[in-house]
Amino acid sequence: MVEEQKIVRKTDPKFIEEIIEYGSKYFTKEEMERLRACINCGTCTAGCPSGRRTAWRIKKIFRRAQLGLKEDALKDEGLWDCTTCYTCAERCPRKVPTTDAVRVIRNLAFRSGVANPRHLAVCGYLFRFGHAVPINDETRVVRKKIGLDELPATVHKYPEGLKEVNKIVEETGFKKVVDEAQKEAQKKDEKK
C-alpha cells in the first residue's frame, strides 16, 4: 500500500499532453498524438544501435510518458545516448514518431534543468568561442594544406562576432537555461 501511494504521488497524468503540446511546436500535432498509440512492443528497442552499447531503452520512455512518470522520464540519463539515427522511427509498427519524440522529451528535460554534463561543456565552448566545436591546431594545418584560409569565415576569423553570438543566446533565453542546468549539475556533484 505504501509503495502504491509512492507511485501515485510521482505520477503526472498531464505529462503526455505536455509532450504533445510542446512537440506540436516543431512537428505536427497529428504526429505527436501517435505517442498515445505505442503498444510497448519493443521493436524500437530491439533495433536501437545505441541500446546495444548503453543502458538506453527507448520503449521505456514512451511507457513512462503514457503512465505520467515525468520525473523518471526527464531524469533518464539514457535520453542523451540516443544518436537520432531514426532506425526506431522506420521500424515502429504504430508509426510513433519515436526519434522526434525523444528530441522533444530531451528539450523538456533540458528546460527543467536536467542536462548531460558533456553537453553543458559544449554550451560553454559556444559562449566562449562562438563554436560548439572550436577549431584546433590540427584542423588549421589541414585547412592550410588543402588551400583554405587557416580560419573559417566565422567568429574564429571575426572575433567581434562573438558579442552577437552571446546576444542571441541571451535574448533567446538559451543562456539562462544553460546557467540553471549548470547550477543543478553542480548541486548534484556536491551531493556525491
Binding residues (CB under 6 A) for ligand SF4: these are 38-44, 47-51, 58-59, 62, 82-88, 92-94, 96, 98-99, 102
Taking the least distance from each CB to ligand SF4, the nearer of 105 and 115 is 105
Taking the least distance from each CB to ligand SF4, the nearer of 68 and 130 is 68
Provide the total of helices (H) and of strands (E) in the chain, helices listed first: 12, 0
Residue 61 φ/ψ, nearest 5 degrees: -70, -35
Taking the least distance from each CB to ligand SF4, the nearer of 15 and 62 is 62
Give the shortest CB-155-to-ligand SF4 separation in angstroms. Answer: 31
CB of 84 closer than 8 Å to CB of 102: yes
CA distance 7 to 23: 26
Give the shortest CB-63-to-ligand SF4 separation in angstroms. Answer: 8
Give the shortest CB-100-to-ligand SF4 separation in angstroms. Answer: 9
CA distance 160 to 147: 25
CA distance 61 to 127: 31
Q: Count Cβ atoms within 10 A of the Cβ of residue 111 and give its class: 0-12 exposed, 13-18 middle, 19 or more buried.
A: middle
Q: Minimal CA–CA distance to 60: which of 29, 74, 52? A: 74
Give the shortest CB-54-to-ligand SF4 separation in angstroms. Answer: 9
Taking the least distance from each CB to ligand SF4, the nearer of 69 and 102 is 102
Taking the least distance from each CB to ligand SF4, the nearer of 28 and 83 is 83
At 172 the three-state DSSP class reads: coil
- Whole-number Cα distances in Å, 89 to 20, 47, 68, 181: 17, 10, 22, 29
